[in-house]
Structure formats: C-alpha cells, structure tokens
Amino acid sequence: MIQEGISETAVAAGASAGAPARRIDLAIEGMTCASCVSRVEKALRKVDGVEDVVVNLATNRARVKARPDVDTAALSDRVDRAGYGARVIEREQQGDIERERTEHVRAARRKFLVAAPAAAAVMLISMLPMILPGLSGFAMRRMDLLNIIQFMLTSVVLLYSGRDFFILAARSARHLAADMNTLVAVGTGAAFILSSIIIFAPGALHGVSGNTVYFDTAAVVVALVLLGRWLEARAMAHTSDAISRIVSLLPNIAHRVSPVDPLAVTDVEIEFLHVGDLLMVRPGESVPVDGTLLEGASALDESMMTGESMPVEKLPGAAVLGGTLNSTGSFTMRADAVGDETAVASIIRAVRDAQASKAPIQRLADRVAAVFVPVVIGIALLTFAGWLAIGHAGVATALINAVAVLVIACPCAMGLAVPTAVIAGTGNGAERGILIRNAAALERAGAITTVVFDKTGTLTNGTPEVVAVMALGAMPGEEIIRLAASVEERSEHPIARAIIRHADAGNIRRAPVREFLSETGMGVRGIVDGHLVRVARPGRVNGMKSIDDIPAGSSPVIVEIDGEPAGMIAVADTVKASAAGAIRALASAGIATVMLTGDSAAVANAVGAELGIGEVIAGVLPHEKADRVRSLRRDSGGVAMVGDGVNDAPALAAADLGIAMATGTDVAMATADVTIVGGEIARVPEAIELSRRVMRIIRQNLFWAFIYNIVGIPLAAFGLLDPMIAGAAMALSSVSVVSNSLRLRKTPERRVRRA
C-alpha cells in the first residue's frame, strides 16, 4: 500500500480522473486520552489529499479517507511528528496487531504488579508511627534509614512502572497541551523531588524537618492510575475477539467436486475457492461459502446468521450461507460468493466499522485536566515568584509554598474517583449476574432512551417446545404424543427433540419403532404398534395444505396414522418467564422498547404482542440490524441493543450500549459492553439502573476530588497550607471518595429511573 516516488504528473492525472477515495487504516501507538485523539486527527488532516479522519481510542486505530494518490508514508510521518507512532494496517498484519495488543495488556499488568507492593510498602513505612505508636521512638531514631528505603522504593515505581507518565507528559508539553499524564507527572514529580531534597540536602530548605517527606503520595498515585490503565488495556484487547470468533464459524477446508467427474472430491482451503466451484457439504459440517444448493436436500441451522431457532429446510435451488450448520443430509452446492463477498465477511466489516465509528469516551478527569493542569502549574509559578517578591521570604519558603500548591493538586483522589466506583459497582453487578466491561459502558448507559431486543434466545428461550396438541379425529392427545415421540426417537431434528421432551415431561412411555425412515425435507416415518406413523409439516401431508386455529407464532407438524391425519402438534420458541416483567419495567420508566429479529413477521408479532413491546421489526438480515440500530440512534438518542447471536454482533457494536446474553454465542459477548449471566432478561433494566448509579457516584467523586483543590490551592498559595497539611487534605479527599464509592455495594432499587 505504500506508494513511493509518485510523480506530480501521476498525481495530477489521478486527481483529474476523479478516482474514488480509498480507505486507509492505521495502527496508532502512544494514545492515552481524548486529547491524544484530537492531536492525531489534526496531524492527519494536514496531509494534502486527506478528506476525512476518524481516530478511535478504544481500538488505537485511525481510519483515513483520502485520494488514491496520497502517500501512506506521509500519513505515518505526520503522526510521528505529532509525537505518536503510526503503521499502515495490511491484511497480513492483523495477527501481529493482535499479538501486540496482548503484549500491551501484559506490560500494563507487569508495571502495576511492580508498583502496587512497592507503593504499599512506602505507605506502611510512612504510617508506621501512627499504626504502631510504640515504635514511634524507633522510627524517629531510624528516620534517615526509613527515608532512604522510601526513596529507593519510590524510585523503582517512578522510573520503571511510571516512566510512561513522564514521557507522555513531556510529549504533551511539546505541543502545549495537558492531560491526565501531565497531572500525574507534575504531582508525583513534585512530591518526589521535594522529598529527595529534604533527605539528601536538608540544609537547602530551612525549617523543614527530615520526617516531612511525600514519597507515599508519589508511589500510591502512580500505582492507582496504573491499575486503571491495566483494566483499560484489557478492555481494548477484547475488541479483536469478536472478529476472530466470527471467522471461526467457517470451516478451514471445503470439499471441491470436479465438474467433470462428480465422484472426484478434493479438499481445499476455503481461501482458494472461486465463484462457480462445486462443493460438497456433509452432515454436521459448516457451509464454507455463500451459494446455491444444486443437488440433495437438508435442514440447515441458520440461527447464528438469522436468529431463527428452527432449522430451515433446503431443497435444490435454495440459497445457503457460509457459516451455517448442515444438520442432516448431504448436498452439493455452487459457490456464488467467496472471500470478502460472503455474508460472514459482511458481518465482520459491520463489526469493525461500528467499533471504529464510536467516538472515544471523553473521560471527565481528562476534560478537566486539560484546563486544570496548566492553571495549577501557573498558580505554582506565580506563588513561587510572588513569595520571592515579598523580599523577606527566601527561596526555601517560596519553593515550599509552590510545592504545596502542586501537592494539594496531585490527583490522588482523582485517581480513586473512577476505579473505586467502577470496582464497587461492577462487583455489585457481578453478584447479580450483570457483567459490565468498563467505565465507558457505564457512561453510555446513562443516556439510554430506547432498548432494542433480539427475539430468539433473548426474549425467548431459544429452543422449540410443544405449546399445543390438537386432535384431528377421535385419537386423544396423549396417544398422539406417544406415537409421535416414538417415531421421532431416532431423529435429531430440534422439533423431534421438543416432542420427546414433552413426552418425557408427561411420563408418556414410547414404543419400539420398526422400519424407521427419515426423509430430508419430508419428515419421518416408522411402524409403531403395527401402525404406520408419519410426522411431517402440513404441506407434506396429503390433504393438509393449511391449518386454522394454531397458536400464533408456532410451527405445526401433523401426525399421520396409516395414511390419515390424526393430530397436530404445535411447536414454538417460548418466551422467557421474566421477559414481560422486564419490558414493563422499562416502559414504566419511559424507555421505549423495540424487537428487531430475522424471524418471520407472524412469529415476531405474536411474541411482541404477548410481551407488550412497543415496536416490532421483523425479517431483518444481520447487516440490516446494525443499520436499523443506527437509524434509531439518529431518531431517538441513546440506544441499547440486547442480543445473543452472531447475527446480533454488528447491531451490538453499532449501539450506544451492547448487552449480550451469556447463554448465547461468544461472538455476541465479545462485542457487547454488558453481559447478562444466565440469560435472565430481568437483569437488563437493573443493569441500566446500576450503570446510572455508578456514573452519579463517579461525578460526585470527581466533585469531592476537586473541591479540596479549589479550597486548598489558594490557602497553599498564600502560605497558609504547608505540604504536610496538603498531604493530609489529599488523604481526606481520598477517604471521602472511597467511602462514597462503597455505597455502590448495596443493591439498588429494582427499577429504572428516568435519565
């Protein structure tokens, strides 16, 4: 993709030809906050020929829309000059990028695990006289040694675990910007430098005792912020899991049939298939690509693509989709779409596009830091200069007061504000089966006005069950079930399993079957108690073209005895017991509900009417689900999508908040922001309420984190607050933040309040 040495003539020719713009994906290194995203976007927009830029902090990617003649090396160079790294993402580099993400998570974890015990040791030493008053005399006699130990431990924390804060803060300073890294670097650096001067050059600061050091401030702040960075890195790494799991739906090998000799079958990797190839698909195998069934018949499980729980019968001429599961018969198909043109590829593109288009979360701490940090530094400099100007105040007094300003502004409480609330809130949710991925999901949940539900496996149980048994003659319903279950004993069809489960639940004993025969697309038959019993769809039974009075949304099968219709069994995917209550809870709070499903309109409308859902949209294909969700976001604001299947993945990624049922597929859970353990739909309104509570607590925490700064900074600047008291104020702010977060450990009211 890198174009070198493009002549001006070629550029002009390309431009004049009006060639369509191309899309270039870049992997960006070094971004940590929203201000980083802004700087990268501005740098890329400066390249001539760039039409549009979208930078995503969560995936560390930049998507550039540019003229075909734009040199990708120029894009990378611009990003490098802005202080970040950039690399063009080629198809063959995807595995390398995923490995780099894994290593990034490991590095973040490693740095935290080094910082945490060292910071704990520093804090323990600093608090030793308070924890064990009997050792206060020993601590005073050995203060020099204890200070040296604190210095060494804090040096390890700052130079190894926290060095990135200082590197990134310096990078921001070169661009006259400030972020959370600047806040951490300035506060911890000031505390460390002042403490080092106190113990190594005590004469330089008159009136300051050797036991007034602030190493614990520096070490603990770095450890806490690193904990948040580690958790954030883990969440980012999950963005690639959904795509790899979708790809796993496809088989690695396909059976290609020779067009000359139908008996000659060759195994080939699906990457080498071409449009028009003849392929054999055996029972139990996944369909390799999209195509048309030419010979044979089968029932395909398309639930991972359409959400329809019932197998779909396929006869010659029917379309088949790659990634669907062939459950019964063997068939030959023609490949109509391969590679990037398949339905699975379109789902992958939809997930990638939705993730890339999400705006980076504007964390409150970063937004405030962009203004707060330069102001604090300015106040500290003015404090130093002001005290020097007084005349009788020396350099030491001026420096102490300036450092007091920086120490009181050190983000100790700010470092606790978000992680403590998130840990307490997500812990409470986990106890009740609500798994929340990160703070970003919590923030988005606060603006939800519409909840969109998938049907199969989300509002319903996802497996067919017998909902009615109707006699078409004199034979009682129990006998109809006994005969049907007997002949279905040898079938693996989901409807057969539903009939058998119904018989077992009623303690109906099955009889032996002779001459069993399964006819793909036609039903099953066998001899039971001397009678020919056949179970088939109405259209496959003589004289049974349609049936009236069947339960809405169900699939009927006819039980034929000796050639005569004896009874009808209605099978349907039943709704979950808690679904209606969840819909009522959302509706009572003014949150609109929508059902979005690939199922038929008849089935979808029946389920929607039963549950009282506000709007039902049926017959929607996987890529169309994401489009519908985007449309709802434009029309109604914040949208949450609740689903469980592969076909829901694009919509889950496109929504403001994706909620997956843990009873569904790994793909859905990897794409979603919230996972409901056990598939208990009643947890959906609880998850939204919990998320809103956590965000309220976070805002309160940030308020308390800054109120001490607002009050303390003027006091420090006027010499009324020495660094030691500033440290105590910081500790008090931290206690208030932690105490406030612990309120989230209590289970909230089980209702959803209006946003």
Q: Which residues are catalytic?
A: 454
Two tokens at 7? Answer: 């002549």
Q: Cα(432)–Cα(690) distance, rounded to whole angstroms? A: 11
Burial classification of residue 405, based on how many CB atoms lie within 10 Å of its CB (0-12 exposed, 13-18 middle, 19 or more buried): buried
The torsion angle over the Cα atoms of residues 453, 457, 461 and 464, rounded to 10 degrees, is: 120
Quickly tell me which residue has 């003659």 as its tokens. 473
Q: Cα(121)–Cα(619) distance, rounded to whole angstroms? A: 61
Residue pair 14/69 in contact by the 8 Å Cβ criterion: yes
Going 570 to 571 to 577 to 580, the CA torsion angle's sign is: negative
- In 3D space, the residue among 392, 395, 415 whose CA is nearest the CA of residue 403 turns out to be 395
Burial classification of residue 540, based on how many CB atoms lie within 10 Å of its CB (0-12 exposed, 13-18 middle, 19 or more buried): middle
Q: Cα(26)–Cα(543) distance, rounded to whole angstroms? A: 63
- The angle at the Cα of 643, spanning 638 to 648, to the nearest 5 degrees, equals 90
Two tokens at 6? Answer: 């493009």
- Give the residues across from 570 on adjacent strands: 468, 556
Q: Cα(246)–Cα(351) distance, rounded to whole angstroms? A: 10
Q: Helix, strand, or coil here: 205?
A: coil
Residue pair 609/583 in contact by the 8 Å Cβ criterion: no
How is residue 202 annotated by DSSP? G
Distance of CA 493 to the CA centre of its chain: 34
Sheet (strand 523-528) strand order:
460-471, 564-575, 555-561, 531-536, 523-528, 513-519
- The angle at the Cα of 729, spanning 724 to 735, to the nearest 5 degrees, equals 130
Say which amino acid occupies 524.
Answer: V
Phi-psi region at 261: left, alpha or beta (left = phi > 0; alpha = psi -120 to 50): beta
How is residue 457 annotated by DSSP? I
Q: Cα(617)–Cα(638) distance, rounded to whole angstroms? A: 18
Pairing of strands 319-320, 312-314: unpaired
SS (H, E, C) 66-124: ECCCCCHHHHHHHHHHCCCEEEECCHHHHHHHHHHHHHHHHHHHHHHHHHHHHHHHHHH
